[in-house]
């Protein structure tokens, strides 16, 4: 079976730095598994920019950092929606190309849903987003969406919990799924990485206080790198504040700052730090459910050497 290395864990644990070092040792190339790094121009806020001084070359769909290729960067315009289905399709093609060139694919990132979809597959993943239908549904009120779903599929409506029934976005997706299932507009079944590969999962973790400290320091670093100016440039290129909020986390908060809803840099920094702490907690909760992960504490001095030794034994 073909080998596939996965580096996962919460934000600010140094996943990409570790993956770059492993790529150099084992003739590998990285495949980013991040729901926002796929977007062009979202560089500093999504953590594409390394903390150290490296030579960076940018190409369509990838960056080359310190001589190592990182795929699934800069894939799509941020004005466009890019789904987990799109990600799996594109990432699979890249992984196969890495194999053809005799190299080791290294999946690295913290978007648990994308990783699960890539390795295991997800129910309904083969049903693509119908943009024309979504535009029509976006015009409906929450009550109208609820009524429409009840008419199309009473069983689906009954299966939703209270939160989902009150969430227009989830109602729209449920309607979309039911319509397309009924019309049998399924695409050909996607092949999942996990079905054909020998996978080694390496997880990075840290005590909560250390993780929070790293997050706090990284927020300040990104501010100094120009994250606010990056958001301003995106808006000047007609990326709306509404879309920035849809892109989530840093960019949603930056949209509030640029609109004057946050009054100071200090207030911006504190809000970013708190929100990212919460995001890290959600990532930790998600990855606790991930099976067959070899976890390493980044607060231990020799963790990188231990990981390299384990990967060498597995890869031989």
190 known member of a binding site: no
15 known member of a binding site: yes
16 known member of a binding site: yes
285 known member of a binding site: no
14 known member of a binding site: yes
SS (H, E, C) the chain: CEEEEEEECCCCCCHHHHHHHHHHHHCEEEEECCCCCCECCCCCCCCCCCCCCCCEEEECCEEEECCEEEECCCCECCCCCCCHHHHHHHHHHHHHHHHHCCCEEEEEECCHHHHHHHHCCCCCCCCCCCHHHHHHHHCCCHHHHHHHHHHHCHHHHHHCCHHHHCCHHHHHHHHHHHHHHHHCCCCCCCCCHHHCEEEEEEEEECCHHHHHHHHHHHHHHHHHHCHHHHHHHHHHCCCCHHHHHHHCHHHHHHHHHHCCCCCCHHHHHHHHHHHHHHHHHHHHHHHHCCCCEEEEECCCCCHHHHHHHHHHHHHC
12 known member of a binding site: yes
Annotated binding site for ATP: 9-16
The annotated binding site for substrate is made up of 11-16
Binding residues: 9-16
């Amino acid at each position: 079976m073909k080998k596939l290395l996965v580096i996962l864990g919460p934000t600010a644990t140094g996943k990409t730095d570790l993956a770059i070092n492993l790529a150099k040792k084992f003739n590998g190339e990285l495949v980013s598994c991040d729901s926002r790094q796929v977007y062009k121009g979202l560089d500093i806020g999504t953590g594409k920019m390394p903390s150290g001084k490296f030579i960076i070359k940018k190409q369509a769909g990838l960056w080359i950092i310190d001589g190592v290729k990182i795929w699934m960067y800069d894939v799509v315009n941020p004005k466009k929606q890019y789904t987990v289905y799109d990600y799996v399709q594109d990432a699979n093609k890249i992984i196969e190309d890495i194999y053809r060139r005799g190299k080791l694919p290294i999946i690295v990132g913290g978007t648990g849903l994308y990783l699960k979809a890539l390795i295991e597959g997800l129910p309904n993943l083969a049903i693509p987003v119908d943009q024309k239908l979504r535009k029509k549904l976006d015009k409906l009120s929450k009550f109208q969406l609820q009524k429409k779903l009840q008419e199309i599929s009473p069983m689906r409506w009954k299966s939703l919990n209270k939160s989902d029934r009150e969430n227009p976005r989830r109602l729209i997706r449920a309607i979309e799924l039911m319509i397309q299932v009924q019309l049998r507009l399924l695409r050909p079944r996607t092949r999942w990485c996990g079905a054909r590969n020998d996978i080694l999962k390496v997880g990075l973790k840290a005590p909560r206080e250390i993780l929070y400290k790293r997050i706090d320091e990284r927020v300040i670093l990104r501010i100094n790198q120009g994250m606010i100016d990056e958001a301003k440039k995106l808006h000047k290129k007609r990326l709306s504040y509404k879309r920035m909020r849809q892109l989530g986390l840093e960019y949603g908060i930056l949209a509030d700052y640029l609109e004057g809803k946050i009054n100071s840099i200090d207030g911006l920094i504190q809000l970013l730090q708190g929100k990212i702490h919460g995001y890290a907690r959600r990532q930790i909760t998600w990855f606790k459910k991930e099976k067959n992960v070899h976890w390493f504490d980044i607060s231990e001095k020799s963790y990188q050497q231990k990981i390299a030794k384990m990967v060498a034994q597995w890869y031989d």
